[in-house]
Amino acid sequence: MTSLNQMPGSYDEFLLQNRKYINGSFLYVIFTCIFTGPAIALGIYFGVFNHTNYYACFIISFVMLMLYLLCWYLYKISPYSRYSAYIAICVMNIMLVYMSYEKINVRVTWFLMPLLSMLLLDIKIYVSSCLFNYLMVILSIWLSAPFMSSITNDVTPRQYFLNEAIARSIESFIMAVVGYEIGRLISFYYKSLIEEKHTVSVAERMMEKQIVLLESMSELYDRVNYIDFESMIEQSLQCGQKIEYKLDLENNNHSHMVNGMIDEVPKEDHDRFLRFTDLKTIQSRLSKQKIISEDFKKNNKNWYRLQYIVVASDENGYPTKVIFTTLNIDEEKRKEKFLLEMALTDELTKLSNRRCYDRDVAEWKMVAPPENLCIISVDVNGLKIVNDTLGHMAGDELINGAVDCILKGMKRNGKLYRTGGDEFVAIIFTTDYKEIGEAILNYANQWRGIYNNKLAISIGMASVVEYPYVTYEELEKIADDIMYQNKAEYYKQNGIDRNALYNKYQAR
């Protein structure tokens, strides 16, 4: 009736298609039955049917012709009707009764009627067809009992009726049960086929989606590998080519693609690279998260990101299919570096800022200060007065002037940070820190700008040489205290009342 390739999507849809097919097939059956009358007429002519007449043959053919026209009309207006074939079966049952009445007994035909209804796979139609068929059988026995008993001459019509009715009842019951089981098996068979086709279709759609996903991923990434732990297959999708390799985890913990990449990894990263790409542990690592990734350098030049992505998992959440990708991330790393430098750099002076200073100090605090460590705390004197009187361009000039003087004095012996508006901290590693301090002050005294004709700075210095048993925080505080003492002395020598300046600023 329906091939597997043409199998509908659901069992209900199959029943509809089956109904249409059965209704169409019944038209051929009924059309064939139209020739039953002429066939019986030939039997009368050759002496096979001696107890009937040609009129009965005409009635049979005429009724079957009318039934054919009725079923043809019903099929045209409603090909999926469940009652078209049922009506035909009932009419043919009635015609069998008529044939029995006319002494035309074709016994095997009685059993065909319920079996034909079974093809509709409708339990209600099958049961009602069996019951109607049984009633028609009993009626035909009753109508033919007088004639059949007269032929045998050894039983009465009543005895003949009872004997035949009991025998036909047993036969009808057996036929009904067997037909029901056959119909149930056919229904189960088609349900199984439809479910199997649905499962296959779902798997095919998922496979198609995975193929599309893999193909799209191969365009996004530099390399893409599909790893199937169920079939132990590794498939390379590089450059649109699908090359398969067998996975042999007993002798090799890594995929074919990873083995080809190991020479590109710097030696110091070999162990980390091999741990990350170990296929014996990747499933357990991916069972906790769907994606894992790590960044590596290639030949100490380019950055690339390795990534494992779960495609499918079993019922316990254990990955069975995984995608392994590599992606060049040089541009991303450059952006990260640029953003990090922006976050750690003072915009005006291009020096490292307070955030960078705190980060570096946090690292230094984890170890004992080296013997040649010296902290220089520097503050620009009178910066606020210059900003208020000459403007911020003049103030910026003072700040940049101070930076130039400090850097010249340091002579690349350390690192300079701008930690506040007019505050700087230099971390140097030298025992000649006093000479550096003097050099910075000398450069400051000699400095001249466009908006300012002098630069005054205060310096505080504290070294491990002078204070060998203090912590970094204590050394930093000593340098700050010395700087503030020098700053106070500068304002005092120049007759500047810092409190008056502060009160004036607050009043504005």
Last residue of a domain, which of 198, 232, 258?
A: 198
pTM: 0.46
Q: Is 9 helix (H, G, I), strand (E, B) or coil?
A: coil
Whether residue 455 lies inside any domain: the answer is yes
Whether residue 209 lies inside any domain: the answer is no
* E-only strand ranges, 398-464: 414-418, 423-429, 457-463
CB 91 within 8 A of CB 140: no
CB 382 within 8 A of CB 399: no
pLDDT at 303: 85
pLDDT at 249: 81
- Phi-psi map region of 317: left, alpha, beta (phi>0 left; psi -120 to 50 alpha): left
Last residue of a domain, which of 135, 165, 198?
A: 198
Dihedral in degrees, nearest 10, Cα atoms 265, 266, 267, 272: -60
Q: What's the rounded Cα separation, in Å, for the pair 355 and 345? A: 8
- Those residues with Cβ within 8 angstroms of residue 158's Cβ, 6 or more apart along the chain or in another chain: 145
Domain count of the fold of the chain: 3
Whether residue 447 lies inside any domain: the answer is yes
Domain identity same for 301 and 386: no
Domain identity same for 369 and 314: no
Q: Which amino acid is at 20?
A: K
Whether residue 192 lies inside any domain: the answer is yes
Domain identity same for 110 and 169: yes
Domain identity same for 408 and 309: no
Whether residue 443 lies inside any domain: the answer is yes
Q: Which residues pair with 310 in a beta bridge?
A: 322
Domain identity same for 355 and 435: yes
- Spell out the SS3 assignment of 155-177: CCHHHHHHHHHHHHHHHHHHHHH
Whether residue 205 lies inside any domain: the answer is no
CATH number at residue 249: 3.30.450
Residue with tokens 């009736």: 1
| Cβ atoms within 10 Å of 365's Cβ, excluding its own | 12
Domain identity same for 180 and 272: no
CB 353 within 8 A of CB 470: no
Domain identity same for 83 and 177: yes
Q: Per-residue confidence of the chain (508 residues) as pLDDT tens digits?
A: 444 445 566 788 888 888 888 889 889 989 999 999 999 899 888 888 888 899 999 999 999 999 999 999 999 999 988 888 889 889 988 988 998 888 887 666 677 788 888 888 888 888 998 999 899 999 988 988 888 888 776 788 899 899 989 998 998 899 889 888 888 888 888 888 888 777 777 766 766 666 666 666 556 677 788 888 888 888 877 655 567 788 888 777 788 778 878 888 888 888 888 898 888 888 888 887 888 888 888 776 788 888 888 888 888 888 888 888 888 877 777 777 776 777 788 888 989 899 999 988 888 888 888 889 999 999 999 888 898 888 989 999 999 999 999 999 998 888 999 998 899 999 999 888 899 999 999 999 999 999 999 999 999 999 999 998 888 889 999 999 999 999 999 888 888 765 554 454 444 4
Last residue of a domain, which of 198, 213, 247?
A: 198
CATH number at residue 388: 3.30.70.270
Domain identity same for 35 and 62: yes
Whether residue 167 lies inside any domain: the answer is yes
Domain identity same for 279 and 154: no
Whether residue 111 lies inside any domain: the answer is yes
Domain identity same for 48 and 194: yes
190: containing domain: 11-198
pLDDT at 8: 67
Domain identity same for 358 and 229: no
Domain identity same for 44 and 107: yes
